[in-house]
Structure 1
Amino acid sequence: MTSTIRVDWPACRARGLCHELLPEVIDLDEWGYPVVTGTVTAELLSDARAAVRACPQLALRLVG
């Protein structure tokens, strides 16, 4: 089973914490906004949940 990360763009403030916590799935664009580059595998699920919880703007959501 795989999941994906969704970004609430109006809420995101490009702090980059999501990339620090989940670099396997999230890159940053030139302005520091997250770019989701892959899916969340079972092995990455706990890291993905931590990234969603840690987002200071609550701009991330785990789907699937």
Structure 2
Amino acid sequence: MSQDELLALPTTVSVETAARAIGLGRTRAYQLARQGQFPCKVIRIGASYRVVTADLLRLLGLEPN
């Protein structure tokens, strides 16, 4: 993903989107999210997981707008 694409993301993104941004595979990303070891904040809503975009951007060395 480009820097512009990353900075345009909404407040939270899917685990798949976050995984793509940091170069993780889908299966490994969900595994880490379930174990509470994903490298940025993950929120569980029912059966789905959402990644906080501000944490993702900080992990990538970008400042959220």
Alignment TM-score > 0.5, same fold: no
With the length of structure 1 as denominator, give the TM-score of the two structures.
Answer: 0.30
Bigger relative CO (Cα 8 Å, ≥ 6 apart):
1
Task: State which structure, 1 or 2, has the greater radius of gyration over its C-alpha atoms.
Answer: 2
Q: Which structure features the higher share of helix residues?
A: 2
